[in-house]
Structure 1
Amino acid sequence: MIRARKVTGLAARGVALAAAFAAAAAPPYAAFAQQAEPQAAAPAPAPAPAGLSESVAAVVNDDIISTYDLAQRMRLLIATSGIQPTQQNIAQFQREALISLVDEHLQVQELRRQEREQKMSIVATREDVDEELAEMARNNNMSLDQFVASLAGQGIDVSTLRDQIRAQVSWQRWIRGRYGSRLRIGEDQVKAVQQRQEAAASKPQYQISEVFIDANRVGGPEAALSGATQLVAQMQQGAPFPAVARQFSASATAANGGDAGWITAGEMPPEVEAALDQMRPGQLSRPIPVRDGVYIVFLRDKRSGASASIVSLKQAAVALPQSATEAQVAAASATLETLRGQVSGCGDIEAKAARVNGVVAGDLGEAEIKDLAPAFRAAVETLQPGQVSAPIRTAAGLHVLAVCAKRSGGAEALSTEQIESRLFGQQLSMIARRYMRDLRTSATIETR
């Protein structure tokens, strides 16, 4: 078996390519519809970037990846990630583009070998690729010709995207077809997940999106951490998380823009869960090193565990300083008591309060009862949905609270089918990563 022989020299070329791509900064596909003018037909494929002569960038088991192929993939990566190229990140773009090209060559080579051995068609046909391209165009409210023209306008030959689609579609079908039918999710596995759910029912749940940088894929833990750090910086500057996830994440959720849905304790590495405990909804994490790579997570939402009591409230209030006289407090209290007798609950408190001078009403949203101010908590604990409290004195004034709803925290447990589907996806993703690791190890890969 031939072992990999890798000759590195890409970092030095990254600076040389920076000038060529600085002018190629492009919006992600989602912005094409707003920026591209409709055209009857696509222009001729873009030439190689000025100042770059085409040569060999890498050899993968005798298959050549040219510098033109690499430049084109970099342009595509920039256009689809939403990250603006700079002197600092161009080397990362080049590294990721080359890794992707090498992986795709290995995948197609393996699929061609399987086709010969099994005497069956595996690699996606031109028609298959055309369907994927047409779907991309539709998602951007464009015709296929307009979509291709938009790519060409950014210096991207559509054949670059075709090659990427062909490899991805073919590989996904092969992995699912070869291993999907063999995977069996046992009853014990499902029960183990259910037991973890029950144990974690009182703990918070998190709705997250994730990017996972596989250290084995990018050249080790240091490279993974460095790449993740640059991605976090770019997302903090406005690069869209879903686009970054689709292009850089090695997780099975990459195809969904990194959307991992709702998770509970035990579903993510301990390092990630520890970070989530300290985050607020809408917050992006720092790079989180784990055993096999580095995670970046975006906390989209958070909800309390099943043991928590959640209340939805609206209020009507009269502003009063702490120095208000007893007469002022009594007058405000009388006003709110009159209003209280007129409203039937959350449905009309705001409308009726708006007719009373000096009274302001609003929606306080949902909160855990234990997190309410002491005076509010004492009142809410005794009220049922639809009831309105007596006036409550605070440092800000006098308030009456309308209870819109009460419920237990947490969410319904995943069904058996949902658990099986999640476990199936996780195991299939692990198999695919191991398969690729073995292909890289047994290949002859030269980067020049």
Structure 2
Amino acid sequence: MMKLGTFGRAALMLAGSAFAAAAVAQTVGDEGSSTTDALNIPANPEIFGERDPSVITATAIVNGHVITGTDVDQRTALILLSNQATQVPAEELQRLRAQVLRNLVDETLQIQAAEAADIKVEQSEIDQYFAQYAQNFGSTPEAFAEFLHSKGSSARAVKRQIHGEMAWTRLQSSRIEPFVNVGEEEVQSIIDRLQASKGQQEYRIAEIFLSSTPETAAETQVNAARIVEQLRNGASFLAYARQFSEASTAAVGGDLGWVQAEQLPGQLAEVARAIPVGQVSDPIAIPGGYSIIAVQDARQVLTSDPRDAVLSLKQLSVTFPEGMTRDQAAPLVERLAEAGRTMGGCGRAEETAAKIDAEVVSSDQVKARDLPRALQEMLLSMNIGQATTPFGSFEEGVRILVLCGRDDPVATDGPSFDQVYAQLNEERVNRRAQRYLRDLRRDAVVDYR
């Protein structure tokens, strides 16, 4: 079952699967797609009237439900907030608003379909998830709502998104999952292939999928290219996947988990092998639309990796007073570095911090893989009690990490039968859900005002 997603940087990121199993590559089949031959469109059509259909108004009525300009404004503000974007070119903002309106139409159709199937989402459940969002900000629901309002959004906009995700998830559970079958032989075949590929490379992949028909392929490719440009300029992949991806993995920021290249569709497999870790692909044409993938990490199948070590760390950090210059801060940085070299291990961290007016934070369950790559390499080469060189920034402060303990990983035998079964089942549910949403769009009455 698709889990409820999270909101931007404030959210609680759901972990992807930690095993190599069947790929969850979101592709939409060719069923139901039409061709230009069937439409019999003239080669040089005459356009009657002055209205430009590419200019979409901010208000729409979807099967009687009104989407207002305020709805679009507030959802757009959520995207900008999650990407820490303050200045957006007018042309890009217009494209973003058009995409947000399309997303809101889909979301409305999903909620309506759930209600038609007598699937209820109680307000108390929505409020509970909203409270979790606030808690992730270290805030109360009331204070979080005020924060959203100050950024041009609202608690209502977030709660509407929560409602849509919950309704669609429950509709899939009720109307799609019971009719999906996965055979035991299929599951065992995947497990056998994984065992045979032990030691081969696998990748942590995230995706953004945009559906298209032959008629809309060119426009969709242009939209995908714009998204890639924004991602390469620092936009959050998680946030863009949640807002723009039409795959159900949008709810978890596009995370596909760990997969082998061979388990992906051919077009995606080639790209996964070719681009470096941390990079975002160009738009990739696949059946049913375009995919954008990010290779977030790589490792060897069923083989222990030092970066899976779990570390116990203490962090000593020093912040600089407002108005202090870099030259004035340099002695403080050197003082912190010297403290790390001479403190004698974690047992003296608090004592040392008090002498240099530093703050101490402890964490006993830090996966080396989750740290920035430069810190991974540094920490994994250190002995217990040693400290890193100072790192950070002049604006946010400088810190060191002291290695207090390390639990090295043990190679596993791979995913269980139940885990592989669940992932295969999810893949098929996702494909049917895309077809279901396509049918809802086709039958909808949408009036733009």
The interval holding the TM-score normalised by the smaller chain is: 0.5 to 0.7
Q: Distance in 2 between matches of 1:281 and 1:234?
A: 18
User: Which of these residues, 15, 30, 41, is aligned with residue 10 of structure 2?
Assistant: 30
Q: What residue in structure 2 maps to residue 252 of structure 1?
A: 248
TM-score, scaled to structure 1:
0.59
**Contact kept? 1:77, 1:93, Cα under 8 Å:** no
1:302 alignment partner in structure 2: 298
Tell me the distance in 1 between the aligned counterparts of 2:153 and 2:434: 29
- Runs of 4+ displaced beyond 6 Å: 308-312
Aligned position for 1:112: 115
Distance in 1 between the 2:226 and 2:189 partners?
A: 37
Check whether the contact 2:8–2:238 (CA below 8 A) recurs between aligned residues. no
Q: Is 2:81 the counterpart of 1:79?
A: yes
- Say if 1:418 and 1:177 are closer, same or farther in 2 by CA, change over 3 A: same
Q: Partner residue of 2:69? A: 67
Contact 1:200 1:264 survives alignment (8 Å): no
Give the secondary-structure state (helix, strand or coil) at the position aligned to 2:262: coil
Superposition deviation, residue 205 in structure 1: 1.3
Equivalent residue letter for 1:100? N
Amino acid paired to 1:71: D
| TM-score with structure 2 setting the length | 0.59
Q: Is the contact between residue 282 and residue 300 of structure 1 (CA under 8 Å) also seen in structure 2? A: yes
1:183 maps to 2:186: no
Between the aligned residues of both structures, percent identity stands at 28
Evaluate the alpha carbon distance shift between residue 251 and residue 108 of structure 1 in structure 2; reply closer, same or farther with a 3 A threshold: closer
Aligned match of 1:159 = 156
Report which stretch shifted further, 294-303 or 134-143: 294-303
Aligned to 1:330: none
Partner of 2:435: 434
Please report how far the alpha carbon of residue 444 of structure 1 lies from its aligned counterpart in structure 2 after TM superposition: 1.8
- Equivalent-residue separation in structure 2 for 1:441 and 1:239 (angstroms): 32
Counterparts in 2 of 1:265 and 1:199: CA distance versus 1, 3 Å: farther
Q: How does 1:198-237 map to 2 (within 5 A)?
A: 198=195, 200-201=197-198, 203-215=200-212, 220-237=216-233
Answering whether residue 268 of structure 2 is matched by residue 266 of structure 1, we say no
1:49-94 CA-partner distances (Å, limit 9, x unpaired): xxxxxx8722222333222322222223322354553234223311
In structure 2, C-alpha distance between the alignment counterparts of 1:311 and 1:109, rounded to whole Å: 49
Q: CA deviation at 1:310?
A: 9.3
Aligned to 1:414: 415
Partner of residue 98, structure 1: 101
- Change over 3 Å in CA distance of 1:441–1:309 after alignment to 2: closer
Equivalents in 1 of 2:146, 2:297: separation in Å?
39
Matched, 1:242 2:226: no
Contact 1:123/1:166, CA 8 A, preserved across alignment: no
In structure 1, stretches of 5+ residues that fail to align are 1-26, 32-54, 116-121, 313-406
**Aligned 8 A contact 2:194 2:301 in 1:** no
User: Deviation of residue 112 (structure 1)?
Assistant: 2.7
What is the CA–CA distance in structure 1 between the aligned matches of 2:306 and 2:77, rounded to whole Å?
Answer: 50
1:49 maps to none
Q: CA separation in 2, counterparts of 1:311 and 1:29?
A: 28
| CA distance in 2: counterparts of 1:305 and 1:155, whole angstroms | 46
Amino acid paired to 1:232: V
Larger radius of gyration: 1
Output the CA distance in 1 between the equivalents of 2:63 and 2:152.
29
CA gap of 1:101–1:163, structure 2 versus 1, over 3 A, is: same
Distance of aligned partners of 1:199 and 1:174 in 2 relative to their CA distance in 1, 3 Å threshold: same
Rounded to whole Å, the distance in 2 between the matches of 1:83 and 1:297 is 22
Is the CA contact (8 Å cut-off) linking 1:225 and 1:294 kept in structure 2? Answer: yes
AA at the equivalent of 1:296: I
Please give the secondary structure, in 2, of the residue aligned with 1:284: coil
Q: Which amino acid aligns with 1:69?
A: D
Counterpart of 1:282 in structure 2 is 278
Aligned amino acid, residue 30 of structure 1: A
Higher relative contact order (CA 8 A, sep 6+): 2
Deviation at 1:431, TM superposition (A): 1.9
Q: Distance in 2 between matches of 1:311 and 1:155?
A: 44
Aligned-pair distance for 1:271?
A: 0.8
What stretches of structure 2 of length at least 5 have no aligned partner?
Answer: 1-6, 12-56, 308-408
Q: Distance in 2 between matches of 1:124 and 1:87?
A: 37
Q: Quote the Cα distance in structure 2 between the aligned partners of 1:294 and 1:108.
A: 26
Contact in 1 for aligned 2:247/2:434 (Cα 8 Å): no
Match of 1:446 in 2: 447
Instruction: Classify the secondary structure of the residue corresponding to 1:89.
Output: helix
Q: 1:201 to 1:145 in 2, by over 3 A?
A: same
